[in-house]
Amino acid sequence: MEQILANGVYLGSQYAMIALGLTLIFALMNVLNFAHGQMYVIGGFVTYTIYGQWGVPFVLALVMSCVTLAILGALIEKFLFAPVIKGSAREESTMLLAAGIAFFLDAVILLVFGEKQRGVPKIVDGVFNWDFRIIMPYDRILICMLAILSIVAFIGLMQYTKTGRALRALAQDRTAAQLMGVNVDRYSMIGFALGAMLAGLVGGLLVTITGVNLGMGGPTSIKAFMMVMIGGAGVISGAIWGGIILGFMEAIGLALLYQYGDITYLLIFVSLMIFLAIRPQGLMGKPWG
Amino acid sequence: MQRRSLMKAALTAATLTAFGATAAFAENPVLKIGFVGVTSGPAAAWGISNQRSMEARAAWINETGGYTIGDTTYDIEIVSFDDQKDPKRAIAGMEKMAQEGIHYVVGPNVDDGAAAVRPVAESNGIMYFPYAFPKELYQAPASNAVLGMVANYQSGPAIYKYLMENEGVKTVAFIAANESDPLSQRDGGVEAAEALGLEVVSASVTYQVDTTDFTPVLTPVMRAQPDLLVLSGVSPANAPQLIRSARELGFQGLISTETAQDAGVLAEGAGDLANGFISVGGASTPELASPMMNEFVQRYTDMFGEYNDESNTKVYALEYILETLKADPSAITDVDAFQATMDTFEAPNPYMNGDAKLRYVGMSSFGQRRQVAVPLVVNVYQDGAFETLFVAEVD
C-alpha cells in the first residue's frame, strides 16, 4: 500500500504540472491547445541537448527549456492564435489551428532531434528503500519535490503578483478586465507564454526520469485533457486535483488490477465518462463556463 | 554590352549545367523499390531505420555506378510511404506502390498493417517484405510476403534454451505493451518457454504503449522474482525505461527481448543498468561485421548524422531483392519468376564475415521459403556497446 501511495504522489505531481499549462491557456483564451504535448516534448529535447549533450548544469538547461518554450509560446500566440481569435468567432478555428501546430511541431521535432528515444544522465544516483515497503529512486523524489515546488510557485505568482491578478481577471471576464485597464493583448501573450513555459519546465524535469521521444506529444496532450476534464476546464486548482486523481487512479489500478491485463485505463475512461455524464463541468468547474 | 555578354554566359552555363545534371541522372534507367512503414509517431524509429537503411544503400549503389541486373545497369530509387502504423494507411501506401508500377516493397513494420496490405499486394503483383510475425502471412495460400527478419518464435526458444543451459534460468516473467504485436510475441514466448520446461511466474502484466513511467507497471512483476524477465516486442523507446525501472526496483535477474535495439539509446536511457541486457541484433559486432557492413554503417552515419543499430537487421531486405533480381532479371516485372527463383537462390552474405549466405528459408515455420536468412545474432549489451552472445541460423 505504501508503494502505491508513493507512486500516486509521484505520478500525481508530474501530471498536475502537465495539466497546469494547458488549463491556464484554456482559461485565458478559450483555446484547446492540442500542441501542449509537443511543447512538453520540445522542453525535454532542449534539456536533453543542453544538459545531456553539451554538459551544461541541469538547472541551467532547465531554465533554457523554460525560456525557449516561453518565447515559442509568445510567438505562437502573437502571430497565430491572436489573429485567428480576432478574425474568427468560431471556436473550431482555434482548435484546427492548435491541431495544425501540433502536427507542425511533430515534424520539426523529427527533423531537428530525430526519431530515437533520448535520455540524460541521472541527476541523483541511488534508491530510497524503506524495508521494501517503499522503493523510490532519489531522482524521482527530487523531481517530485521540484514539481510540487513549481506548482506552489505558480500558485503564488497567480495569487500575489500584478501579472497573476491581471491573468486571473482576464480568465474571469475578458471584457471587464479590458474595461478595468488590463492590456488584454499583452496579457494573453504572457499567459500563453507562461502555459508553454510550464510545458517546457515539466518536459525538462521529466526527461531525467522518462527520457523523451518524438511520439510522446500526442499521448501527453490526451492525458492533460483528461486531467483538465476531471478537474474542470480553465480552473487552476481543478487541473492540480485532476492530475493528482489521475495519478492515484493509475497507481492503484496498475497495482491491484495487473492480473486482469491492461484494464486500468479502460476503467479510468469508463469512470471519466460516467463522471462527466453526472458532472460535465468537472470537479471545480462552473456549469456556466 | 559587357553586362549582356555576362548574362549570356551565365545563361549558357546554367543551361549546360541543367542539361548535364539531367544527362547524368538519366544515364541509367531507374529501378524503383518501395517502402511502406511507420516513420512518424511513437514507433517511428522502427520504420525510419528501415527507410534510411534503404536510402543509404541506394545512394551508395548509385554513387558507384548503379546496380547491374541482366544487361542493364539501374539507378535505385526508394519510394517511401508513411503508414503511421495505421492499417488503412498501409493499404493506401501499397496502392500507391501499385500505381507507380513498383513490384518490390519493404514493410510494413507491424502485424495488422502487414495483414491489411496482403490483398493489394497479391492482386497487383507486389512482393513485400514485412517485419511482422503472423505465420499466416507466409504460409500457403499466402504467396507474396517474405518475412524480413527472424521471428520471435524462432529467436525466443534459442535465447531461453541458451540461458537455461548457461545461466541456470528456471523461472521467467513476461511483460508486453497492450498492442497486437507485443501481445502476440508474449503469447508465443510463453508457449516456447513452457515447451522448454521453464516455469512462467508472470505473464499477465501489460502496459499502455505510451507509458513513460514503468515503476508502477513493474512493481507486481518484481514480486514474482523471476530468473529472467522478457520484454516481449518492446520498442527501443520503452526498453531503457523498463530496464531502469526493473533494476531500480531491485531486480537482479536477467532481462531479454526478441526485438532489435540500439546501443546508444540504451546507454542514454539506462546507462550501466542496461549491462547484461540481451537482445537480437544483426551483424554489427566487430567480430561479425564484414568490411562492407562497416562501410554501410559509415555511409549511413555520414548521410543521417547518426547510426541506428536496428539497421543491422534492416539492411538486408533491399539486398535480397536486388540479388534475387540479379539471379533472374525477368523477375523485375514478374513476381512469379521471383518466387520461383527464391527456392534455389543463394548468394554470399556481403555484410557478415565468414561464409554466410543470402538465401530464403522458412520451410520449418511456414512450409515454403518465405523468409530471408538473416543471421540470428543474439547480443548482450555491455558498457555502451553490444557484444555477441551467440549466433544461430533459422531454417
A/B interface, count of CB pairs below 8 Å: 116
The residue behind cell 529501378 is B31
pLDDT band at A116 (very low <50, low <70, confident <90, very high): confident
Give me the mean pLDDT over the A208-231 stretch: 89
**Count of structural domains within chain B:** 2
pLDDT band at B235 (very low <50, low <70, confident <90, very high): confident
Do the domain assignments include residue B353?
Answer: yes
SS3 A262: coil
User: Is 60 exceeded by the pLDDT of residue B23?
Assistant: no
Closest chain B residue to A5, measured at CA: B216
Report the DSSP beta bridge partners of residue B377. Answer: B281, B391
* E-only strand ranges, A185-236: none
Do the domain assignments include residue B39?
Answer: yes
Higher local confidence (pLDDT), B279 or A257? B279
Tell me what pLDDT residue B284 has. Answer: 64
A 103-122 residues inside an 8 A Cβ radius of B: 106, 110, 114-122
Spatial contact of B338 and B331, defined as CB atoms under 8 Å apart: yes
B161 in the same domain as B141? no
**Beta-carbon separation of A211 and B264 below 8 A:** no
Which residues of chain B are within 8 Å of residue A135 when distances are taken between CB atoms?
248-250
CA distance A203 to A207: 6
Do the domain assignments include residue B393?
Answer: no
B144 in the same domain as B156? no
For residue A118, what is the DSSP state? B
pLDDT in tens, A23-34: 888 888 888 899
B156 in the same domain as B255? yes
**Beta-carbon separation of A110 and B262 below 8 A:** no
Do the domain assignments include residue B94?
Answer: yes
pLDDT band at B393 (very low <50, low <70, confident <90, very high): confident
CA distance B298 to B264: 16
Containing A71, the helix (H) or strand (E) segment is helix A58-76
pLDDT in tens, B71-128: 999 999 999 999 988 999 999 999 999 999 999 999 899 889 999 999 999 999 999 9
**Backbone phi, psi, residue B284, to 5°:** -110, -10
**Beta-carbon separation of B178 and A115 below 8 A:** no
Q: What is the mean pLDDT of chain B?
A: 88
Residue at B321: amino acid letter: I
Domain ranges of chain A: 2-214
Of B243, B259, B275, the domain-final residue: B259
* Helices (H), ranges, chain B: 2-25, 44-63, 87-99, 111-116, 118-123, 152-167, 180-196, 215-223, 239-248, 263-270, 291-304, 311-314, 316-327, 335-342, 363-366
The residue segments making up the domain with residue B200 are 152-259
Report the DSSP beta bridge partners of residue B199. Answer: B171
B87 in the same domain as B64? yes
C-alpha closest to that of A25 among A169, A191, A187: A191
pLDDT in tens, A32-84: 899 999 999 999 999 999 999 999 999 999 999 999 999 999 999 999 999 99
Tell me what pLDDT residue B42 has. Answer: 66
Q: What is the CATH number of the domain that holds B123?
A: 3.40.50.2300
Spatial contact of B181 and B249, defined as CB atoms under 8 Å apart: no
Tell me what pLDDT residue B16 has. Answer: 44
pLDDT band at A130 (very low <50, low <70, confident <90, very high): confident
pLDDT in tens, B184-221: 899 999 999 999 999 999 998 898 887 878 888 888 88
Confidence check on the interface: ipTM exceeds 0.85, yes or no: no
B160 in the same domain as B134? no
B49 in the same domain as B120? yes
Tell me what pLDDT residue B63 has. Answer: 95
SS3 B1: coil
**Beta-carbon separation of B219 and A250 below 8 A:** no
**A200/chain B closest Cα distance in angstroms:** 17
pLDDT in tens, B24-80: 445 799 999 999 999 887 678 789 989 999 999 999 999 999 999 999 999 999 999
Task: Establish if B305 touches chain A: CB-CB under 8 angstroms.
Answer: yes
* DSSP code per residue over B223-276: HT--SEEEEET--TTTHHHHHHHHHHTT--SEEE-SS---HHHHHHHHGGGGTT
Do the domain assignments include residue B52?
Answer: yes
Q: What is the mean pLDDT of chain A?
A: 89
Do the domain assignments include residue B15?
Answer: no
Task: Establish if B301 touches chain A: CB-CB under 8 angstroms.
Answer: no
* DSSP code per residue over B23-43: HHHTSS-EEEEEEEE--SSTT
Higher local confidence (pLDDT), B248 or B21? B248
Task: Establish if A263 touches chain B: CB-CB under 8 angstroms.
Answer: no
Tell me what pLDDT residue B21 has. Answer: 43
Residue B188 is placed in which grid cell?
A: 508465443
Task: Establish if A131 touches chain B: CB-CB under 8 angstroms.
Answer: no
